[in-house]
């Protein structure tokens, strides 16, 4: 996915690009998701920079969800790509591109997922 730096005008607004895996039924409040991508989310990060994020949620986002490493559920195995880290440079019109590639691998019955992340500049 290409990484942009969209304008977000108010703190409570956000913009993102992501991949996600979903299971369950929304009307039964049993949706489970694992999500990853980039987002501009000033209410969460206190700035307007595009940042790499991961999120898991269950119970259709009603009570249980976790962003990044703010609670249990994710481990950061690499020091190369920082979860919540700002991504720079970003794509510009007719300029070089910044591309974020995320591979998501399911290991053992939806209990453990492995993210493989590549960040390529000037494509």
Here the contacts of 95-99 (C-beta below 8 Å, separation 24 or greater) are 96/121, 96/122, 96/123, 97/2, 97/122, 97/123, 98/2, 98/3, 98/122, 98/123, 99/1, 99/2, 99/3, 99/123
Note the pLDDT of residue 32.
Answer: 85
Mean pLDDT in runs of 10 for the chain (123 residues)? 91 93 79 90 96 87 85 74 85 80 68 58 55
> For residue 11, what pLDDT is reported?
94
**What pLDDT was estimated at residue 40?**
97
pLDDT the model gives residue 83:
87
Q: Does the predicted TM-score (pTM) go above 0.75? A: yes
């Amino acid at each position: 996915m290409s990484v942009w730096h969209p304008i977000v005008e108010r703190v409570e607004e956000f913009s993102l690009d992501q991949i996600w895996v979903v299971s369950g039924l929304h009307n039964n409040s049993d949706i489970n998701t694992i999500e990853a991508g980039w987002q501009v989310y000033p209410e969460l990060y206190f700035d307007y920079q595009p940042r790499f994020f991961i999120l898991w949620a269950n119970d259709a986002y009603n009570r249980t969800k976790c962003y990044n490493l703010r609670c249990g559920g994710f481990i950061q195995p690499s020091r190369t790509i920082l979860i919540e880290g700002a991504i720079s440079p970003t794509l510009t019109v007719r300029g070089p591109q910044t591309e974020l590639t995320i591979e998501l691998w399911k290991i053992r019955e939806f209990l453990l997922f492995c993210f493989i992340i590549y960040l390529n500049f000037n494509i």
